[in-house]
Structure 1
Amino acid sequence: MRASRRLAALAALTALTVAACGGNSAGDQSDAARKAAANPQSVSGTITWWDTADATSEAPAFRELVDRFEQKYPNIDVNYVNVPFDGADDKFRTAGQAGDGAPDVMRAEVGWTSTLAALGYLQPLDGTPALTGADDYLPVALQSNVYDGRTYGVPEVTDTLALLYNKDHFAKAGITEPPRTWADLETAARKLEQAVPGTTGVFLNADAYFLLPFIYGEGADFVDVDSERITIDSPQVSAAIETVQQLTADGTGATDTSANKYTNMLNGFKNGTVSIMLNGPWSVPDVLSGRAFADPGNLGVATVPAGPEGHGGPVGGHNLVVYAGSPNLAASYLFVEFMNSTESQAYAATQNNTMPTRKSAYDRPDVARNAVIAAFREPLSSALPRPCAPGAGDLHNLVTPFYERILGGQASIADGLRDAQQKARRFVPGFES
């Protein structure tokens, strides 16, 4: 019954997209895969790649890899387009539905992949060169690309949230190891505020994505995939927010519900007025530019503390996906294969301080020497996959305004979660609320 419900719920979405995206026939797909695998140098044409990486800090490395690809495959031209991350998924969906303007390849956030696949906009990559060496990928990272038994992307980069802390502050407060539970974190934060006058013990971002480690610690998520239910208003999510409220109370920590909440958290930490925050590897270059971390060795990184049901941060990152309506599938497969080779991943990782998704990339000496990558290996090992259900990847964006109201004192936990649950109704096709 559940499978039938989901298929029925998606029917209205997919009926239009199959025709709109100009999808290739099974024969065309197989021919493209065979051509790319058997005689790659015979492949020619132009492909467009939407790169959603930060235009200043990350894109230069990917531009270099594009140049290397064109040198290896002189008959293939790549139209490189850097597309702002915010809104890129909606832009792709609009182009896909119109059947005009979608790129051949896109760098997609992990939460987008199942949604775009369910809409019929993504090309399955099983049996193509794009999935060469699939057994080399970190299992959880690869899992984010699998929907309904087929693989619709390859994991380009991965990440997770970790506990970042100021070692000098810890030493002044007599704290000898990072906290292992949320209760330990509360105790540590109080000590820090007492030992380091003017500092905030812990600063927690009032964004629902940053709430996920607390929810995971309660053994839950915003959806229950097994029962196909949206669970925003569950007792476990309520308990997670109660923990956040304890940790952000006066004398322990703080939060911020303004539009600049993330920036304010980051600036406070890197300038030494915040002792602890939860953040990902993407934040480290900015952190190390602050006066509190003139000595990079002052930065501590640890796995997020545990709740009653365990610990772990959400697996984030980006996948490379191929548009189902691409007229240049063979070239697209080769491009994805090249961009995600061990050599390419190692280059991008060392240039951008990002986490590779290939296990073999971590064996490269330049990757192994990277302090940021090394520090996040342990937090990544306990990270949990995001639910692979269409629409589920966007639920934290839906929940965030309600979470802000709760932390800002404008709504109770019960009222805020009830309203968020109501808004999420029918947001995940086939899931009950």
Structure 2
Amino acid sequence: MRRGLAAAVVVAALTISATACSGGSSGSDTSGPVTITWWDTSDATNEAGTYKGLVADFEKANPAIKVEYVGVPFGDAQTKFQTAAGSKGAPDVLRADVGWTSGFAKAGFLAPLDGPAAAAESAKFKPNLIEQAKYEGKLYGVPQVTDTLALMYNKELFATAGITTAPANWDELKAGLTTVKEKTGVDGFAFNPQSYYAMPFLYGEGTDMVDAERKQITLNSPAAVKGIDTLNSVLAAPGIRKLDTTSNAYANIMDAFNNGKVASIIQGPWENANVFKGAAFKDKNNLGIAALPAGSAGQGAPLGGHNLVAYAGSDAKHQEASQKFIAFMTSAPSQVKAALANGTLPTRDDAYSAEVTANAGIAGYSKLLAGGKPRQALPEYSSLYTPFETQLIKIVSNQEGTEAGLDKAAAEAKKLLPEFSTQ
């Protein structure tokens, strides 16, 4: 999911109604063959092959339906779908980040999925994930994969440094960095300066970017300032890897971790398959997965993932085919197949078979899901990551003070949420 959060701002399009749009085909005839288009935003290298295989399985089981598979880079998909939906050219089905679902639903881009065709087995899904796929009480997505952030660490390097348990708080992590560097010569921790990876520092102080219920922007609250100050203290600790703010930061950090050049990172299960290809994790048991260190108010990590959503502008024939496809792709057998091949976490309890939970990566992350913090039910929520990240990079690069930077981020958030108050 998080190979780079989409930076698009969807608010400008939220007044556009897609209910008047029609998809690639017109008419309501439900007889005869139909071709639907699916935009898949999964990783082209490590995940897409599995989903292409599932498309073939679906077409074999449903010979009257063909699926045009289109791989769309995750970082481009939010803006691309928004543009396509506004100009009557959107795909019938989209693999959407959970943070996009409510915004697209508010804009009228998505068809409700409450009926039996797509969501007949919704009771078998994890309840918090179903709630995260709703907007104003209606279901607009069916969860395909889920995730949360954790501390990924190299057990061998930690053991060499005499660290036998994962750090419980950020002070313990900072102390461990020095020891790892001294004992192994390897950097103890690397941080990816994207806003999503900074969210645990806000949650750890009991706050978020916004309080939707109170209609208040909290990006510059005292708690948020404390959280980012804590992050800065970690980044200043001896033994940390030099901060990378280049466009290749994500790939550079993952390469360093996978090859044993850094001992720990904040990461999600979408990287499981890639990590196990690394030289440092040929023995999969060397990968440690633990809850993130806590702040003064406790531990917190975002609950993420992807929903399959259907375009509201498609005609009746395509709507029906799309719902069948969504049901198939989110079924227990399909989720098991994806989990075994890609190392991703299923969204329904009956997909956690013994074979799936034998995967070290899945077993480690699945234990942390219950503590994941769901996105707030605010259509503009995912757009808030952009102003936060712009200022975060300046703050952690010592180009801006924490309070001043977060004040600027809050001011930009206010433009997205003019009815909200600020601190």
TM-score, L = length of structure 2? 0.91
Check if 1:69 corresponds to 2:58. yes
Question: Match for 1:227 among 214, 217, 220?
Answer: 214
**2:195–2:388 contact (8 Å) kept in structure 1:** yes
Structural mapping, 1:375-386, within 5 Å: 375-386=364-375
Question: Match for 1:419 among 408, 411, 417?
Answer: 408
Equivalent position amino acid for 2:395 in 1: I
The total of aligned residue pairs comes to 407
1:133-181 deviations in whole A, cap 9, x for unaligned? Answer: 1111112222221111111101100111110111112112211111111
Structure 1 residue 15, shift from structure 2 partner: 5.4
Output the CA distance in 2 between the equivalents of 1:11 and 1:106.
19
**1:117–1:152 contact (8 Å) kept in structure 2:** yes
Q: Which residue of 2 aligns with 1:21?
A: 21
Output the CA distance in 2 between the equivalents of 1:274 and 1:370.
23
Structure 1 residue 22, shift from structure 2 partner: 4.1
Check if 1:84 corresponds to 2:73. yes
**2:46–2:274 contact (8 Å) kept in structure 1:** no
**1:160–1:314 contact (8 Å) kept in structure 2:** yes
**1:164–1:276 contact (8 Å) kept in structure 2:** yes
Output the CA distance in 1 between the equivalents of 2:272 and 2:320.
37
**1:304–1:379 contact (8 Å) kept in structure 2:** no
Deviates more, 1:186-195 or 1:77-86: 186-195
Structure 1 residue 428, shift from structure 2 partner: 3.8
Question: Match for 2:235 among 245, 248, 257?
Answer: 248
Output the CA distance in 1 between the equivalents of 2:238 and 2:199.
24
How many percent of aligned residue pairs carry the same amino acid? 42
Structural mapping, 1:341-420, within 5 Å: 341-362=331-352, 364-420=353-409
**1:50–1:106 contact (8 Å) kept in structure 2:** yes
Structure 1 residue 107, shift from structure 2 partner: 0.4
Check if 1:182 corresponds to 2:182. no
Q: Which residue of 2 aligns with 1:195?
A: 183
Task: Give the 3-state SS of the residue equivalent to 1:202 in structure 2.
Answer: coil
Q: Which residue of 1 aligns with 2:7?
A: none
Output the CA distance in 1 between the equivalents of 2:394 and 2:408.
11
Q: Which residue of 2 aligns with 1:329?
A: 319
Q: Against the structure 1 CA distance between its residues 345 and 310, is the aligned structure 2 distance closer, same or farther, given a 3 Å change threshold?
A: same
Structural mapping, 1:140-159, within 5 Å: 140-159=128-147
**1:368–1:374 contact (8 Å) kept in structure 2:** yes
Q: Which residue of 2 aligns with 1:54?
A: 43
Q: Against the structure 1 CA distance between its residues 242 and 11, is the aligned structure 2 distance closer, same or farther, given a 3 Å change threshold?
A: closer
Output the CA distance in 2 between the equivalents of 1:64 and 1:295.
28
Equivalent position amino acid for 1:414 in 2: E
Structure 1 residue 44, shift from structure 2 partner: 4.0
Check if 1:281 corresponds to 2:269. yes
Deviates more, 1:269-278 or 1:349-358: 269-278
Structure 1 residue 16, shift from structure 2 partner: 3.8
Equivalent position amino acid for 2:143 in 1: P
Structural mapping, 1:289-300, within 5 Å: 289-300=277-288
Structure 1 residue 385, shift from structure 2 partner: 0.4
Equivalent position amino acid for 2:365 in 1: F
Structure 1 residue 14, shift from structure 2 partner: 5.7
Question: Match for 2:153 among 146, 152, 165?
Answer: 165
Identify unmatched segments of 5+ residues in structure 2.
1-9
Structure 1 residue 293, shift from structure 2 partner: 2.3
TM-score, L = length of structure 1? 0.89
Task: Give the 3-state SS of the residue equivalent to 1:253 in structure 2.
Answer: coil
Q: Which residue of 1 aligns with 2:92?
A: 104
Structure 1 residue 391, shift from structure 2 partner: 1.4
Task: Give the 3-state SS of the residue equivalent to 1:283 in structure 2.
Answer: helix
Equivalent position amino acid for 2:374 in 1: P
Show structure 1 runs of 4+ deviating over 4 A: 10-15
Output the CA distance in 1 between the equivalents of 2:32 and 2:398.
60
Structure 1 residue 19, shift from structure 2 partner: 5.3
1:173-227 deviations in whole A, cap 9, x for unaligned? Answer: 2111111112221222222222222x22221211110001111111111110111
Q: Which residue of 2 aligns with 1:3?
A: none
Equivalent position amino acid for 1:65 in 2: L
Output the CA distance in 2 between the equivalents of 1:49 and 1:288.
29
Identify unmatched segments of 5+ residues in structure 1.
1-9, 36-41
Q: Which residue of 2 aligns with 1:124?
A: 112
**1:228–1:431 contact (8 Å) kept in structure 2:** yes
Task: Give the 3-state SS of the residue equivalent to 1:93 in structure 2.
Answer: helix
Output the CA distance in 2 between the equivalents of 1:246 and 1:295.
33
Question: Match for 1:206 among 193, 199, 204?
Answer: 193
Output the CA distance in 2 between the equivalents of 1:92 and 1:264.
29
Equivalent position amino acid for 2:313 in 1: G
Structure 1 residue 336, shift from structure 2 partner: 0.6
Output the CA distance in 1 between the equivalents of 2:141 and 2:97.
11
